[in-house]
Amino acid sequence: MNITKEVKLANTNSQTAIKESKMKVTTSNLIRWSGLSAMAAGIIFAGIQPFHPADVISSVNTSAWAIITSLKTIMSIFGIFAIAGLYARQVEETGWLGLAGYLSLTTFYAVQMCYSFAEPLMLPLLTTEAPIFVRSVLQMASSSPTEMNLGAFATIFSLLGVLYLLGNLLFGIAMFRARILSRWAAGLLALSGPIAITMVALLPHQLERLAAVPMGFALAWLGYSLLSERSEQVS
């Protein structure tokens, strides 16, 4: 009887160890993929800014518009996975500040994805049928007075800026205090909002999009820091 119990106990312990090992491998791979997602999202976010077409109706039916706005959708998808992985790696150390930043940025990317998804697929079809609506959407994107009242569509879009600034600030500060990933990258992420506001105030309108480059660089840097950390642990 004792031998039977010991065999059963050994089998149970072995199965538990195998499950825990699989969970660790799965978690490690997920965090690794989130690092790659952060690098991709950051590179896309920073890289498209100098080439983004002007927010005028003549740009909507161009190939550049289709490519850049499609990349914005892809960037948002990568961004959701990136923020989830960065938060999962530091969930205990970042506390409520990290949670608030995580929720703000996740909501930002989720809503931004919906808007950017419509830009290459819907707006080109409406340039002749509803040109005033298209111009109003473009004016909304460039923070200009709109020709028509867009209602909740514009209200929700305006909240994206708040989520962007607040999320980067809170998440950056939380990661800076956690001292796990690069503190320089975390600090740059936290400061990317104030830097963007300053650049928008100083730069001419056609260069305002460059204000998003610091945030993209910081996100890619954090992704690289996460990947480097995982590689060192495996070694």
Give the pLDDT band (50/70/90) at residue 229: confident
**Number of domains making up the chain:** 1
User: How far is the CA of 224 from the CAs of 88, 113, 181, in angstroms?
Assistant: 16, 23, 9
Identify the pLDDT of residue 202: 83
> What's at 138, amino acid-wise?
L
User: Would you call 170 exposed, middle or buried from its count of C-beta atoms within 10 A (0-12, 13-18, 19+)?
Assistant: buried
- Mean per-residue pLDDT for 1-25? 48
Q: What is the pLDDT of residues 163-180, one digit of tens each?
A: 999 999 999 999 999 999
Residue 111 lies in a domain: yes
- Mean per-residue pLDDT for 124-135? 92
Identify the pLDDT of residue 28: 67
Give the pLDDT band (50/70/90) at residue 201: confident
* First-to-last C-alpha distance (Å) of the chain: 44
Give the pLDDT band (50/70/90) at residue 3: low
Asked whether residue 205 carries a pLDDT value surpassing 70, the answer given is no
Asked whether residue 16 carries a pLDDT value surpassing 90, the answer given is no
Tell me 52's DSSP state.
P
| Nearest by Cα to 39 from 47, 49, 27, 29 | 47
Q: Return the SS3 of 142.
A: coil
- What does the block give as tokens for 161? 């800026």
Asked whether residue 183 carries a pLDDT value surpassing 70, the answer given is yes
Q: Higher pLDDT residue, 16 or 207?
A: 207
Identify the pLDDT of residue 31: 77
Identify the pLDDT of residue 9: 45
CA dihedral 184, 166, 105, 192 (to 10 degrees): -40
Identify the pLDDT of residue 203: 79
Q: Which residue has the tokens 């200009």?
A: 144
User: How far is the CA of 140 from the CAs of 127, 134, 137, in angstroms?
Assistant: 16, 10, 5
- Mean per-residue pLDDT for 22-43? 77
Give the pLDDT band (50/70/90) at residue 122: very high
Residue 10 lies in a domain: no
Residue 17 lies in a domain: no
- Mean per-residue pLDDT for 115-121? 92
196 vs 37: CA distance, rounded Å: 23
Identify the pLDDT of residue 22: 46
Identify the pLDDT of residue 171: 96
Residue 64 lies in a domain: yes
100 vs 95: CA distance, rounded Å: 9
Least confident of 8-17, 31-40, 58-67, 95-104: 8-17
Residue 56 lies in a domain: yes
Residue 3 lies in a domain: no
Mean per-residue pLDDT of the chain: 85
Residue 186 lies in a domain: yes
Range of the domain at 143: 24-234
Identify the pLDDT of residue 113: 94
Residue 150 lies in a domain: yes
